[in-house]
Amino acid sequence: MHNKPNNSPIKIIKNGASVQVTWDGDVLNCDSDTIIKQIAAQMSNTVKQLGFAAPAHGQWDSSLLSVLFGAVQEAQRHNIAVDLTALPQNLQDLVHLALAVDRKPQHKENMQFGFLGTIGAGTVKIWTAVNNVLGFIGEVFISLLRFFSFRSVMRGIDFLAALDDCGPKALGIVALISFLVGLILAFVGAVQLQTFGAQIYVASLVTIGMCRIMGAIMVGIIMAGRTGSAYAATIGTMQVNEELDALETMGLPKVDFLVLPRLLALVLAMPILTMLADFMGMIGGAFVGVFLLDLPYQEYWKYAINAFNLKNFMVGIFHGFCFGFIISMCGCYCGLTCGRNADSVGVATTRSVVNAVVWMIVITGIITVICQEIGV
Amino acid sequence: MKKEVQIDVKDLTVGYGDYVLLHDANYQVNKGDIFIIMGGSGCGKSSMLRILTGLLPPLKGQVIISGVDIASAPAKEVQKIREKSGILYQSGALFSSMTLAENIMLPLQQYSDYSPATMRELAALKLALVGLKGFDDFYPSEISGGMKKRAGLARALALDPQIVYFDEPSAGLDPISSRNLDDLIIELNRSLGTTIVVVTHELASIFAIGNNSIFLDAATKTIMARGDPKELLKNPPNQAVYEFLTRGEKK
């Protein structure tokens, strides 16, 4: 029986107890998967031998080698003897090389769970994650206690470097984004307020919006992307470079050494950056009010100052403080739990930003409800 | 004269979760030995080192270092053992934000009462011992790979350790730097009497420095051979050891 796969020079000939695979001329870019399946289909119980015959000078590529490799493996699976002797020597050598396994693959853990198994595995995963996070928070608080009792091994220079990075170096981007947010807020508000002839209240809208929450949120998002991710990447890279192992074997508390300076710096810098964001947002609002809505400059600031409320301002600053804590904790935790390859550093960086943003929104919700309850 | 045993490994099983890399390993490292842990890729050499340094808990068994089983001892005891050990990691693992002197001073700040000036002197001495005299104020990014390893070794020697562990010391080094590092290891062992444990598969280093060894085999997950590497080459116990020590030659 002859069988020739479509558009392929390879012929499969079954002759009693023997299957012969032959071809003439060149074999390039053949559909190896289909051909292997067609060869395998000929391997019934009566077949005792698989043979190959080929021209000595035809051209071929890896697709032919793949056919030979697949066919031989199929034959071995069916306990069929294989005769490669009619193949060119280089092809024989390559097939033998591919078959010469020096090590069997290790048994891979079967990760296929049933319904209950999936729930169980998920629960264990969540429980482990919660445990790890709570452990980390506990370590940070113990480290803070050590710091306030002057027993911490935190290096002052690390704190100053972190403060420089998340303070002065972040001023530009925070100022620019906050100015633009104030501008957008004023634009959006002005469209609605103009219909009532109340465009002067743009000043109040921008002042209350920026001071109460928007300033802190914008700074939080900027710093999560800029500084939190940098924390995760730096500490993650230290993991890859075995620097964290070195710290551990030297008995230096990782939290004191790596987390504390970053945490203190960001917690200190965030309220200040929030103040700057509030101010820049108000300037952005004033820009729209004065230059686009033609409001008198003095009038705009009079309304803005009237709308300014110390309670709102302090709520914003408190948000900034909490966000600083969240961003540094997320960044450092993701860095410390990073894997030991380059890909893991990318994953840790992404996770730090996503976690920080999610937790900032959750905390904002909680603070808003509490403020509502206590009438702030 | 019988040598003093510094590291005693008993019935040790190395692995992660259900995944076993090596089972029922038993061996001893004597004081003053240059002990090689060798074997092919994936046989558990680096995991063995992580267990010896207390970074990875064993699945089973004991690792007794200077009389303390670090697998079951309280964290404080393990830390005391670590203070008497130094580790040179594959990449050097120097802290990039610190100068070489600051890197070396770090363990001194943690575990000694020396004044900052004395610590600086000690750091300069350790750097000089590894051939980096005058590089105190250089940052890791400003020196070559071989120099980073030397600086890492200087940091490992900061607390005058009784045992120094080396993880693939020759990895990534040119032949001359690798040879120089081997000479340095022998010199430190000879002059300071430090016990050296080296994880490597570099044959040149194995024969140049090792006076005792174990050969880990990934297929059987056991210690397949032990003894002086040069003796193992003369009388290989089996084909796998012979092939490893002769770079794959068939017997």
ipTM metric: 0.81
Query: Between chains, do A251 and B82 touch, taking CB under 8 Å as contact?
Result: yes
Q: A238 to chain B: which residues are within 8 Å by CB? A: 95
Contact B58, B20 (CB under 8 A): no
Residue A241, chain B, CB below 8 Å: the answer is yes
Residue B117, chain A, CB below 8 Å: the answer is no
Average pLDDT rounded to a whole number, residues B167-172: 88
pLDDT score recorded for residue A153: 87
pTM, two decimals, is 0.80
pLDDT score recorded for residue A183: 94
Better-predicted residue by pLDDT, B73 or A103: B73
pLDDT score recorded for residue A107: 57
pLDDT interval class at B251 (50, 70, 90): low
- Choose which CATH entry (1.10.260.40, 3.30.750.24, 3.40.50.880, 3.50.30.50) describes domain A2-99: 3.30.750.24
Tokens 């051909």 found at: A35
Quick one: tokens of A318? 């408190």
- Among residues B160, B154, B173, B167, the alpha carbon closest in space to that of B99 is found at B154
Q: Is residue B89 part of a domain?
A: yes
pLDDT score recorded for residue A335: 96
pLDDT score recorded for residue A109: 55
Percent of chain B with pLDDT over 90: 60
pLDDT score recorded for residue B17: 82
Q: Report the CATH number at residue B121.
A: 3.40.50.300
- Walk across the sheet containing B34-39 and list its strands: B85-88, B163-167, B195-199, B34-39, B212-217, B222-226
The dihedral over CA atoms of A131, A134, A136, A137, expressed in degrees to the nearest 10, equals 180
Query: Between chains, do B83 and A251 touch, taking CB under 8 Å as contact?
Result: yes
Contact B81, B70 (CB under 8 A): yes
pLDDT digits (tens, 9 = 90+) for B35-66: 999 998 889 999 999 999 999 999 999 999 99
Q: How many domains does chain B have?
A: 1
Q: B107 to chain A: which residues are within 8 Å by CB? A: 250-252
In one letter, which amino acid is B242? Y
Query: Between chains, do A103 and B218 touch, taking CB under 8 Å as contact?
Result: yes
Give the three-state DSSP class for B39: strand
pLDDT score recorded for residue A110: 58
Per domain, the residue ranges of chain A are 2-99, 114-152, 153-374
Contact A227, A331 (CB under 8 A): yes
Query: Between chains, do A250 and B82 touch, taking CB under 8 Å as contact?
Result: yes
Residue B243, chain A, CB below 8 Å: the answer is no
B151/chain A closest Cα distance in angstroms: 13
Quick count: other Cβ atoms within 10 Å of Cβ B241? 20
Q: Name beta bridge partners: A352.
A: none
Residues spanned by the domain of B119? 31-43+83-245
Tokens 């003095």 found at: A298
- Among residues A229, A219, A253, the alpha carbon closest in space to that of A141 is found at A253
Q: Is residue B96 part of a domain?
A: yes
A344/chain B closest Cα distance in angstroms: 18
Q: Is residue B75 part of a domain?
A: no
pLDDT digits (tens, 9 = 90+) for B145-162: 889 999 999 999 998 899
Q: A241 to chain B: which residues are within 8 Å by CB? A: 91, 93
Q: What is the largest CA-CA distance in chain A?
A: 104
Q: Choose among A153, A238, A245: nearest Cβ to B55.
A: A245
Q: Which sign does the torsion angle of CA A117, A119, A122, A128 carry?
A: negative
pLDDT tens sequence for chain A (376 residues): 455 555 678 889 988 889 999 988 888 888 888 899 999 998 888 889 999 988 777 888 888 888 998 999 999 888 999 999 988 888 888 888 888 765 565 555 556 678 888 899 899 999 999 999 999 999 999 999 999 999 888 999 999 999 999 999 999 999 999 999 999 999 999 988 988 888 899 999 999 999 999 999 999 999 999 999 999 999 999 999 999 999 998 888 999 999 999 999 999 999 999 999 999 999 999 999 999 888 999 999 999 999 999 999 999 999 999 999 999 999 999 999 999 888 899 999 999 999 999 999 999 999 999 999 998 8
| Alpha-carbon separation of residue A306 from A208, A212, A309, B9, B110 (angstroms) | 10, 14, 8, 76, 55
A48/chain B closest Cα distance in angstroms: 33
Q: What angle do CA A312, A316, A317 make, to 5 degrees?
A: 115
Better-predicted residue by pLDDT, A190 or B3: A190
- Among residues B229, B220, B180, the alpha carbon closest in space to that of B200 is found at B229
pLDDT score recorded for residue A93: 87
pLDDT digits (tens, 9 = 90+) for B193-219: 899 999 998 999 999 999 999 999 988
| CA–CA gap between residue B89 and residue A30 (Å, rounded) | 49
| CA–CA gap between residue A23 and residue A35 (Å, rounded) | 12
pLDDT score recorded for residue A101: 63
Element (DSSP H or E) covering residue A24: none
pLDDT score recorded for residue B75: 86
Q: Which residue of A has its CA nearest to B84?
A: A250
Tokens 């608080």 found at: A141
Q: Is the pLDDT of residue B98 over 70?
A: yes
| Alpha-carbon separation of residue A281 from A175, A360, B101 (angstroms) | 8, 20, 46
Query: Between chains, do B219 and A103 touch, taking CB under 8 Å as contact?
Result: yes
Element (DSSP H or E) covering residue B28: strand B19-30
| CA–CA gap between residue A202 and residue A191 (Å, rounded) | 10
Q: Is residue B102 part of a domain?
A: yes
| Alpha-carbon separation of residue A179 from A144, A174, A286, B42 (angstroms) | 35, 8, 10, 56
Query: Between chains, do B91 and A241 touch, taking CB under 8 Å as contact?
Result: yes
| CA–CA gap between residue B76 and residue A262 (Å, rounded) | 27
Query: Residues 6 or more apart from B237 whose CB is under 8 A from it?
Result: B224, B225
As separate numbers, helices (DSSP H) first and strands (DSSP E) second, chain A gives 15, 5
